[in-house]
Amino acid sequence: MRSVQVSSVSVHCRVGVALFYHLLNGIRHLCWDVGWGFELPQVYVSGYVAMVVAGLLTGVVFMFSLKNRA
């Protein structure tokens, strides 16, 4: 198998998305623990919101890290 070189930026973005998604789903599960958001439409909406917000937070952190590098 040929070696595939993956850029550092790609790895950091993927790890960032995974961490933020995990954090947001933890908050989502805490809401479920207190009984909020059990209806099926709310479950779907909160899942999609978690995905979108994880991507946005990763982008914001990435932009701040680029700004602070210069």
The number of residues making up the chain comes to 70
Q: Does 18 reside within a domain?
A: yes
Tokens 């595939």 belong to 4
pLDDT at 26: 98
**Burial of 32: CB neighbours in 10 Å, binned 0-12, 13-18, 19+:** middle
CATH number, domain of 34, equals 1.20.1300.10
Confidence of residue 56 (pLDDT cuts 50, 70, 90): very high
Q: Does 1 reside within a domain?
A: no
pLDDT at 42: 96
Q: Does 14 reside within a domain?
A: yes
pLDDT at 21 over 80: yes
Q: Does 2 reside within a domain?
A: no
What's the whole-number mean pLDDT along residues 24-46?
96
Q: Does 28 reside within a domain?
A: yes
pLDDT at 1: 46
**What is the domain count for the chain?**
1
Query: How much is the mean pLDDT over the chain?
Result: 91
What's the whole-number mean pLDDT along residues 4-11?
78
Q: Does 23 reside within a domain?
A: yes
Q: Does 39 reside within a domain?
A: yes
